[in-house]
C-alpha cells in the first residue's frame, strides 16, 4: 500500500508529516489494554518464576515461606532429581520415543496427505472421513482395546510399541494439515518432473516434499509438543518402570513424594521437563504463530 | 471463508491420462504411500474404536478370552451407578463452563492485542503485542502433568503461593485453606488451572484469524463511524465465527477428557468425588479393577457426549445465522 519513495520521507522538502496523532481516547484504550494484557502475562509468569525459584530451595525453606529466597543457590535439587528420581533415564526414553515417532509420522503423514491431495481414486473420501473420526473420538474410547492389541503382538510395555501408537494417533492431524498444504502446491511442477522422466517416488522425495518444507516444519512443531506432553497413552500401555517417559515419570515422582516430601527436587524435575519445550518454542515461535490458524482451521 | 477442501477434487483430465499405465513404480508408490500409513492407522486407531463398542456389550474381565455377550446390561449398570453419574455430571459441568470461559477470555485478549492500537492512520495492533503473544503461549507448551503439579503446589494449604499471597494481602482467614481439598472450591480451582493452560493457545489462534481479515474492512467500518467496541462486535466476531466454532468444539472435547489435569490435581477424584470425571473413572475401572467391558461402555458414553456436544455447537451456530451472513 505505502509507496516507498524515499527512505526518510520526513526529510523530503515540502513533505507534510502525516504520522497519525494519538487522541486522548486512544491513550485510554491503550492503557486499559496494556493493563489487562500485563495482568494476564503476570498470571502466566508468576507461577513459572515461582517454580524456578522453589527449585533452588531446600524442602524446609519451601515450607518456611513461599516467597523467601534460597540461602544457597545450588543445583543439588537438580542433581538429585536427575539421578535418584530417575528423571535422567525418563528423559532419554522420551527423546528416543518422541524422536522416532516424530520422524516416522512426518514421513508417513506427508506421503498419505500427498496421495490424498494429488490423486483421485475410489475411496479417497472414505479415507478422509476416517481421519476426521480419529480426530473427533476421544482416545479413551480406544484405550482398552489398544492395550490388548499391543499385548497380543508383544509390544506392550516396550518403547517400539509406544512409538507406533504415537505415530498412529498423531497421523490424522498430520495428514489433515499437510493435505491442505499439498493441495495448494501447483500440480504443474509435479507434471513437469514426470515429463522430465522422474518416477512417482522421485517426484515426491526430490520435488514435492522439499516444496512442502514450511508446512512440514509447523506440523512437526505441533506434533513435537503433543507427543512430548502425552500422558494418557504411556500411562496406560507403558507401565514398565524402566521404560517410563518424562510425563509419567514426573507424575509418579510426585505421587511417591506425597508423604516422603522432597519438594525441592520435585520443582527441579518440573523445570527439567519444561525447559526443553520452552526453548524449542522460543526458537520456533515465529514459524508456529504463522501456522497456528492454518493448522486448526482445516 | 475456510473453504473445506475435499479429496477427489483433483484435475480429472490429468487423472485420466495417468490411469492408463500401471507400472511397478506407480503400484509400489501407491502401496507404500497410502497402504502403509492406512494399515497403521486402521490397526491402532480405528479398530480399537470399533472393538470398544463391541466390548462394551460384554462382561469381559480381560485376562481370558471368555467374553459373555450381555447386551446393554453394562449401560444399565452405569446409569444406576451413583458415582459414575457424579462423574458424568462433573464432566458435563466442565464441558459447559470451560469452553465459554476460555473462548471469551482469549477472544478479549486477542482483540486487545490486535485492535487496541491507534484509531488514526493505519490499522495496527497494540505496541508490544509480540511480547504478550509469546508470554501468553507459554502454558500451552508446558506438559499438562507439570501444569497440574505446579498448580497443586500453588494451591498447597500451608506453603502454597496462593495462600501466601492472600494472607500477605490481609485475608488471614485463608491461612491454610485447602483449595483442592474442600468440595466447595475443588472444582473451580481445577477449572482455573485448565483455563490457565489453554487461553494462550486460543488467543494465538484468534489473533491469527483476526489478522486474516483485510485491513480495508476495518477502515471501512472506521469511516462509517464505528468505534472500537462496535467494530469488535459487528466486524471481528462475525468474520472469525468459524474459528470461534472450531475453538469451542476443541475446547469442549478437551474438557470432556480433562484426565491429566484432574488426575494430577486430585488423583482420587477429590473431596466427595467433587472433581471425579468420566475419564478417571474409566481408567480406574479398566486398569485397577480389570472390568474392561464396563470401562468400554464408559468410553462409549464419553464418545457419545463428545458427539452430542459437537452437534449442539454446530446447531446453535447454524441457528443463530453462523457462516451464512459471511458467505453472502
CATH number at residue A287: 1.10.3720.10
> Quick one: pLDDT band at residue B194, thresholds 50, 70, 90?
very high
pLDDT at residue B2 above 50?
Answer: no
pLDDT at A63: 78
The closest CB to that of B41, out of A18, A119, A168, belongs to: A168
Q: Mean pLDDT throughout A270-291? A: 79
Tell me the count of A-B CB pairs closer than 8 A.
Answer: 332
Provide the CA B230 distance to its chain's centre, in angstroms.
Answer: 29
Q: With 50 as the cut, is the pLDDT of residue B327 above it?
A: no
pLDDT at residue A295 tops 60: no
The larger pLDDT score, comparing residue A217 to residue A19, is at: A217
Using an 8 Å Cβ cutoff, are A91 and A272 in contact?
A: yes
Q: Supply the pLDDT for residue B326.
A: 44
pLDDT of residue A108: 94
Does residue A31 form part of some domain? no
Flag whether residue A68 sits within 8 Å of chain B, measured between CB atoms: no
A41, B154: Cβ pair inside 8 Å? Answer: no
- pLDDT at residue number A296: 40
Q: Any chain A CB within 8 A of the CB of B326?
A: no
CA distance A277 to chain B (A): 6
pLDDT number for residue B99: 96
| Interface list for A 42-61 with B (CB within 8 A) | 43-48, 50-51, 54
User: How far apart (Å, rounded) are the C-alpha atoms in residues B236 and B226?
Assistant: 12
Question: What per-residue confidence (pLDDT) applies to B97?
Answer: 96
**What are the boundaries of each domain within chain B?**
82-327
Q: Which of B10, B140, B260 sits opposite A120 (nearest CB)?
A: B10
Q: CATH: 3.20.80.10, 1.10.10.10, 1.10.3720.10, 1.10.8.60. Which one for B82-327?
A: 1.10.3720.10
Domain containing A188 equals 78-297
Asked, for residue A124, whether it belongs to a domain, the answer is: yes
Q: Which of A9-23, B55-69, B227-241 is modeled with the greatest confidence?
A: B227-241
**Higher-scoring residue by pLDDT: B2, B187:** B187
What's the pLDDT at A185?
84
- pLDDT tens across A172-207, in order? 999 988 888 888 888 888 888 888 888 888 989 988
pLDDT score, position B251: 94
Residues A240, A50 contacting (CB under 8 angstroms): no
Alpha-carbon gap: B52 to the closest alpha carbon of chain A (Å) = 6
Per-residue model confidence (pLDDT) at position A234: 93
Residue A69 lies in a domain: no
Please indicate if any CB of chain A lies within 8 Å of the CB of B40. Answer: yes
User: Alpha carbon of A8 to those of A3, A5, A149, A230, A264: distances in Å?
Assistant: 12, 9, 68, 52, 56
pLDDT at A16: 55
- Counting the structural domains of chain A, the total is 1
- The grid coordinates listed for B67 are 467374553
**What ipTM was reported for this prediction?**
0.83
CA B95 to chain CA mean position, Å:
9
From B168's Cα to the closest Cα of chain A, the distance in A is 10
- Residue A28 in any domain: the answer is no
Arithmetic mean of pLDDT, A54-79: 83
Nearest to A251 among B133, B145, B307 (CB): B145
- Label residue B21 by pLDDT band (50, 70, 90): low
pLDDT for the residue A257:
55
A154 and chain B: CB distance < 8 Å anywhere? no
pLDDT value at position A168? 95
Q: What is the predicted pLDDT for the residue at A19?
A: 53
Average pLDDT, chain B: 85
Q: Which residues of A touch B253 (CB under 8 A)?
A: 136, 138
Name the minimum distance, in Å, from the CA of B149 to any CA of chain A: 8
Most confident of A24-28, B116-120, B200-204: B200-204
Cβ atoms within 10 Å of B74's Cβ, excluding its own: 24
Please give the Cα distance from A107 to A99 (Å, whole number): 13
| Residue B10 contacts A, CB cutoff 8 Å | yes
Kindly report the nearest CA distance between residue B73 and chain A, in angstroms.
18
Per-residue pLDDT tens for B119-167? 666 666 777 788 888 899 899 989 999 999 999 989 988 888 898 888 8
Distance from CA of A211 to the nearest CA of B (A): 18
How does residue A4 score in pLDDT terms, banded at 50, 70 and 90? very low
Best to test chain B binding among A2, A67, A111, A145 (most B CBs inside 10 Å): A145
What integer pLDDT is reported at residue A18 of this predicted model? 54
Confidence grade of residue A9 (pLDDT, cut at 50, 70, 90): very low
Is residue A137 in a domain? yes
Q: With contacts defined as CB-CB under 8 Å, which chain B residues touch A21? A: 120
Amino acid at each position: 500500500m505505502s509507496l516507498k519513495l524515499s527512505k526518510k520521507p520526513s526529510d523530503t522538502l515540502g513533505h507534510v508529516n502525516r504520522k497519525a496523532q494519538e487522541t486522548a481516547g486512544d491513550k485510554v484504550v491503550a492503557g486499559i489494554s496494556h493493563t489487562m494484557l500485563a495482568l494476564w502475562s503476570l498470571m502466566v509468569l508468576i507461577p513459572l518464576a515461582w517454580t524456578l525459584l522453589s527449585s533452588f530451595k531446600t524442602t524446609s525453606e519451601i515450607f518456611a515461606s513461599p516467597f523467601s529466597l534460597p540461602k544457597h543457590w545450588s543445583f543439588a535439587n537438580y542433581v538429585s532429581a536427575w539421578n535418584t528420581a530417575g528423571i535422567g533415564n525418563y528423559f532419554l526414553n522420551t527423546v528416543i520415543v518422541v524422536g522416532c515417532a516424530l520422524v516416522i509420522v512426518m514421513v508417513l503423514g506427508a506421503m498419505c496427505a500427498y496421495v490424498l491431495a494429488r490423486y483421485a481414486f475410489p475411496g479417497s473420501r472414505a479415507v478422509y472421513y476416517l481421519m476426521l473420526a480419529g480426530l473427533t473420538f476421544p482416545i479413551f474410547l480406544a484405550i482398552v482395546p489398544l492395550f490388548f492389541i499391543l499385548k497380543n503382538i508383544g509390544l506392550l510395555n516396550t518403547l517400539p510399541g509406544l512409538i507406533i501408537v504415537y505415530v498412529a494417533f498423531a497421523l490424522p492431524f498430520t495428514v489433515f494439515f499437510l493435505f491442505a498444504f499439498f493441495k495448494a502446491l501447483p500440480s504443474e511442477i509435479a507434471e513437469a518432473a514426470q515429463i522430465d522422466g522422474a518416477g512417482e517416488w522421485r517426484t515426491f522425495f526430490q520435488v514435492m516434499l522439499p516444496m512442502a518444507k514450511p508446512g512440514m516444519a509447523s506440523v512437526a512443531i505441533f506434533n513435537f509438543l503433543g507427543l512430548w506432553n502425552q500422558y494418557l497413552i504411556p500411562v496406560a500401555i507403558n507401565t514398565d518402570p524402566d521404560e517410563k517417559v518424562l510425563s509419567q515419570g514426573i507424575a509418579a515422582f510426585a505421587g511417591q513424594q506425597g508423604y516422603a516430601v522432597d519438594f525441592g527436587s520435585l520443582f527441579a524435575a518440573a523445570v527439567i521437563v519444561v525447559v526443553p519445550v520452552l526453548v524449542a518454542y522460543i526458537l520456533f515461535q515465529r514459524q508456529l504463530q504463522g501456522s497456528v490458524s492454518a493448522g486448526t482451521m482445516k | 471463508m475456510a473453504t473445506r477442501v475435499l479429496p477427489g477434487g483433483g484435475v480429472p483430465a490429468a487423472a485420466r491420462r495417468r490411469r492408463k499405465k500401471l507400472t511397478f513404480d506407480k503400484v509400489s508408490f501407491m502401496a507404500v504411500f497410502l497402504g502403509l500409513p492406512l494399515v497403521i492407522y486402521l490397526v491402532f486407531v480405528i479398530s480399537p474404536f470399533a472393538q470398544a463398542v463391541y466390548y462394551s456389550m460384554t462382561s469381559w474381565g480381560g485376562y481370558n478370552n471368555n467374553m459373555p455377550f450381555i447386551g446393554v446390561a453394562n449401560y444399565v449398570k452405569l446409569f444406576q451407578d451413583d458415582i459414575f453419574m457424579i462423574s458424568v455430571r462433573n464432566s458435563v459441568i466442565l464441558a459447559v463452563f470451560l469452553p465459554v470461559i476460555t473462548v471469551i477470555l482469549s477472544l478479549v485478549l486477542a482483540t486487545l492485542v490486535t485492535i487496541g492500537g491507534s484509531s488514526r492512520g493505519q490499522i495496527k495492533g497494540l505496541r508490544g503485542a509480540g511480547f504478550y503473544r509469546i508470554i501468553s503461549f507459554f502454558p500451552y507448551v508446558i506438559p499438562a502433568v507439570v501444569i497440574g503439579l505446579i498448580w497443586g503446589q500453588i494451591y498447597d494449604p500451608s506453603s502454597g503461593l496462593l495462600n501466601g499471597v492472600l494472607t500477605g494481602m490481609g485475608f488471614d482467614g485463608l491461612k491454610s485453606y485447602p483449595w483442592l481439598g474442600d468440595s466447595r472450591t475443588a472444582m473451580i480451582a481445577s477449572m482455573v488451572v485448565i483455563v490457565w493452560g489453554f487461553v494462550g493457545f486460543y488467543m494465538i489462534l484468534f489473533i491469527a484469524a483476526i489478522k486474516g481479515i483485510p485491513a480495508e474492512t476495518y477502515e471501512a467500518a472506521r469511516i462509517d463511524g464505528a468505534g472500537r467496541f462496535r467494530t469488535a462486535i459487528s466486524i471481528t466476531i462475525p468474520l472469525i465465527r468459524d474459528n470461534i466454532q472450531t475453538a469451542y468444539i476443541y475446547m469442549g472435547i478437551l474438557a470432556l477428557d480433562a484426565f491429566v489435569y484432574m488426575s494430577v490435581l486430585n488423583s482420587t477424584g477429590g473431596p466427595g468425588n467433587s472433581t471425579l470425571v468420566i475419564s478417571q473413572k474409566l481408567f480406574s475401572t479398566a486398569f485397577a479393577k480389570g472390568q474392561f467391558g464396563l470401562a468400554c461402555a464408559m468410553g462409549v458414553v464419553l464418545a457419545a457426549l463428545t458427539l452430542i456436544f459437537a452437534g449442539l455447537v454446530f446447531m446453535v451456530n447454524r441457528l443463530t445465522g453462523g457462516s451464512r451472513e459471511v458467505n453472502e
